[in-house]
Amino acid sequence: METVLAFLTVFTQPQLFLLVGVGTFAGVYVGAIPGLSVTMAVSILISFTFSWDVYPAIALMIGIYMGGVYGGSRTAILLNIPGAPSAIATAMDGYPMAQKGEAGTAIGVTTVMSFIGGFIGIIVLALAAPFVSDFALSFQPRDYMLLAVLGILLVGSLSTGSLVKGIFAGAFGLAIGAVGRDPLTFAERFTFDFRLLEGGISFIAVMIGMFGVSEALMQLQHADKTAVKQKISRIVPSWGTVRRHLPLSLQTSSIGVIIGALPGTGGDIAALMAYDHAKRVTKNPEVPFGQGAIEGLVAPETANNAAVGGAFIPMMTLGIPGDAVTAIMIGALFIHGLNPGPMLMVDQPHMFWFIVGALCVANCFMLLFGLTGIKLFTRIVEMPRAVLIPLIMLLSIVGAYAVNNAITDVYWMLAFGVFGYFMRHYGYPLGPVILGVILSRLLDDNWRRAIISDREDLGRFFGGILHSPLSLVLFVAVILIFVSQTPVWAKAKAMLRKESA
């Protein structure tokens, strides 16, 4: 009974209900603008809500979080500029749809799928939090490293053009991620003795440059062409469409929850992994991937919203943040006099159920705001390019600066913008670069932790993999995916077919 009451708090108090709504609304827009991030918004809210009670403060933050994760897809679909890292995969099929004038359909599917993904995340949080957090804790450095390798192998499905160019781009991304003082030993890496490089290159600056500025430069060549007129008469997808993709969305949501619950990985990696998964399991998409496949929207969007619920799991059960946003929320709980930790669930079960309730409300508001106000967004795309292009460039600059209040990031963003422009022209895919940057630390740090723990002994390292069921599963997955991408596999399949014929 207590539980039900706590869960219903947010529904029965109009003030809290409204705050979640306001937060979600703001979140959608914060998420849509590249460079404005949910992390930033939530950390500013700490000061803003300093004198408030803890419930309204958390309600507002949860709204922003849920809305923000979803909002990144907007600009990804309409402008080919992901508003947040978790929307990179969404651009791959969303933007081709917008080019055909089907932005309305794309946004509709994205919204409904985000809603479904969001709910699956919340349900897992509510029913299985302790179980999932135990599982997440059991990941050893070795397992994180294998997970990162698994991620790197996505390069294959993210580069539709030349695979060699894709591999180059992925390795380049890994190298960018290593620039600066190594966080574990403080050794300087790829700094070439420049002071400026010691702090490293912000991955958001790379993303904004590669997708924002280089896209704007690309568009310059069509500056006087009129924009594609968007059909927005039918936005809500039909029940048939939803039902057809339900199995896929369940699978990708589970990817999202698990990746979200792992400390150190979040919605960005989840979305890319889900996209890859969709590409593998969808045998005959109506439209090929990369040209506007619905499945290419379903997968990343369910996964990144499911990751929200996932990120709360270690936070609520153990006081361990699942990602950057939950890290700040833990800080907020402290400031408001609570002690987030393993005892929170025991001492304050009310807080847990309140958060679950607020997440539910935020998810519903997201559906509401996602399906309305699309006209305004499509107006933005239909704006004359002569105005839109300089504005995108200016927003990219401000956004890059905002990440760490550093002018160096602006320089990097511009450099990567121009570099990305050439990459696009010469057929180098950009997705793998971002993938590499995202995974760089995960791979590098955990490889070193793993091999140090095994005393630099490769034999002991592989022995460890064989003795842990989790590591073994991940290792087999790595091998299978790797083999399936090499020509050997194609040959073997062809041979099998011949034999059976």
Partner 1 sequence: MNKIILATVSALALGAVAAQAQDYPTKEIQGIIQWGAGGSTDTVMRAVTPHAEEVLGGTVVMQNVTGGVGAIALNNVESADADGYTLLMGAENPLLYKVMGLGDKDYGDFIPVDLLARGTAILVANNDAPFDDYAGMMQYIKDNPGELKLGATGPGGLPSVITAMMDTVEGKLDVISVPYDGDGPALTALQGGAIDVMPAVLGASIEGIRAGTMKPLAIFDTEASDKLPDVPTIVSENEAYGAYLPWGPFFGVFVKEGTPDDVVAKLSDAFKQGAENADFVKLMDERGFTMMNISGDEAEEFLTNWQQNTAWLLQDAGLTSASPEEFGIEKPAE
Partner 2 sequence: MTTPDPIHHDGSSDALPGGYDARRRPGELVFAILLTVASLALLWNAYGIAGLSKLSSPGAIPMATSAVMVVTALIVTVRTARQPRVADETVARDILPGTVILFVGLLVGYALLLRPLGFLPTSALFLIVGIKVLSRRGWGFTLGTALLSLAVIWLIFRLVFSVLMPAGIVPEAEFVQMLRNLFGGVL
Among 50, 194, 422, 489, binds partner 2 (CB under 8 A): 422
91 binds partner 2 (CB under 8 A): yes
Structure tokens at 108: 């509709």
500 binds partner 1 (CB under 8 A): no
Among 18, 22, 123, 178, binds partner 2 (CB under 8 A): 178
Of 3-62, which residues contact partner 1 (CB under 8 A)?
39, 43, 46-47, 50-51
With CB under 5 to 8 Å by kind, the binding choice for 77 among partner 2, partner 1, none is none
Structure tokens at 210: 């590669």
State the DSSP code for 208: I
180 binds partner 1 (CB under 8 A): yes
Distance CA 180, CA 192 (A): 10
Closer residue to partner 1 (CB): 50 or 426 = 50
**Binding segment for partner 2 among 65-73, 236-244, 252-260, 387-395 (CB under 8 A)?**
387-395
263 binds partner 1 (CB under 8 A): yes
Structure tokens at 355: 């958060």
CA atoms within 13 A on the CB side of 227: 21
**Binding segment for partner 2 among 65-73, 156-164, 234-242, 310-318 (CB under 8 A)?**
156-164
198 binds partner 1 (CB under 8 A): yes
Of 19-38, which residues contact partner 2 (CB under 8 A)?
33, 36
**Binding segment for partner 2 among 61-69, 93-101, 301-309, 358-366 (CB under 8 A)?**
93-101
Residue with tokens 């005892």: 343
CB 266 within 8 Å of CB 303: no
Site string for partner 2, 266-305 (x = CB under 8 A): -----------------------xxx--------------
469 binds partner 1 (CB under 8 A): no
Among 39, 80, 90, 230, binds partner 2 (CB under 8 A): 80
CB 88 within 8 Å of CB 212: no
Distance CA 251, CA 226 (A): 40
350 binds partner 1 (CB under 8 A): no
With CB under 5 to 8 Å by kind, the binding choice for 137 among partner 2, partner 1, none is partner 1
Distance CA 174, CA 437 (A): 5
Counting residues that bind partner 2 (by CB under 8 A) gives 89
Q: Which of 251, 256, 352 is nearest to 311 (CA)?
A: 256
Distance CA 491, CA 357 (A): 53
Determine phi and psi for 276, rounding to 5 degrees. Answer: -60, -45
Contacts of residue 246, Cβ cutoff 8 Å, sequence gap at least 6: 116
CB 84 within 8 Å of CB 114: no
Give the dihedral sign, CA 253/257/259/265: positive
Closer residue to partner 2 (CB): 185 or 284 = 185
Among 3, 138, 238, 372, binds partner 1 (CB under 8 A): 138
In the complex, minimum distance from the CB of residue 186 to partner 2, in angstroms, rounded to a whole number? 9
Buried b (16+ CB within 10 A) or exposed e, 216-240: bbebeeeeeeebeebebeebebeee
Of 457-476, which residues contact partner 2 (CB under 8 A)?
458
Of 187-216, which residues contact partner 2 (CB under 8 A)?
187-190, 192, 211, 213, 215-216
Distance CA 77, CA 94 (A): 4
In the complex, minimum distance from the CB of residue 409 to partner 1, in angstroms, rounded to a whole number? 10
Closer residue to partner 2 (CB): 405 or 500 = 405
**Binding segment for partner 2 among 66-74, 158-166, 254-262, 466-474 (CB under 8 A)?**
158-166
127 binds partner 1 (CB under 8 A): no
398 binds partner 2 (CB under 8 A): yes
In the complex, minimum distance from the CB of residue 167 to partner 1, in angstroms, rounded to a whole number? 28
Among 337, 459, 469, 487, binds partner 1 (CB under 8 A): 337
CB 313 within 8 Å of CB 136: yes
Distance CA 127, CA 234 (A): 36
310 binds partner 1 (CB under 8 A): no
Structure tokens at 490: 């194609």
448 binds partner 2 (CB under 8 A): yes
Closer residue to partner 2 (CB): 162 or 468 = 162
Kind plus residue range of the DSSP H or E element containing 189:
strand 188-189
Among 12, 194, 372, 384, binds partner 2 (CB under 8 A): 384
Strand partners, 189: 180
Determine phi and psi for 232, rounding to 5 degrees. Answer: -125, 25
* Cα dist from 47 to 15, 16, 52, 54, 336, whole Å: 20, 19, 10, 13, 11
Residue with tokens 């073994």: 472
Counting residues that bind partner 1 (by CB under 8 A) gives 50
Site string for partner 1, 369-408 (x = CB under 8 A): -----------------------------------xxx--
Of 405-444, which residues contact partner 1 (CB under 8 A)?
405-406
Distance CA 66, CA 89 (A): 18
Structure tokens at 300: 């990343």
* Cα dist from 13 to 7, 10, 17, 18, 354, whole Å: 12, 6, 6, 9, 12
What are the residues binding partner 1 (CB under 8 A)? 39, 43, 46-47, 50-51, 137-141, 180-181, 183-186, 198-200, 263-264, 314, 318-321, 324, 327-328, 330-331, 334-335, 337, 339-343, 346, 404-406, 445, 448-449, 452-453, 455
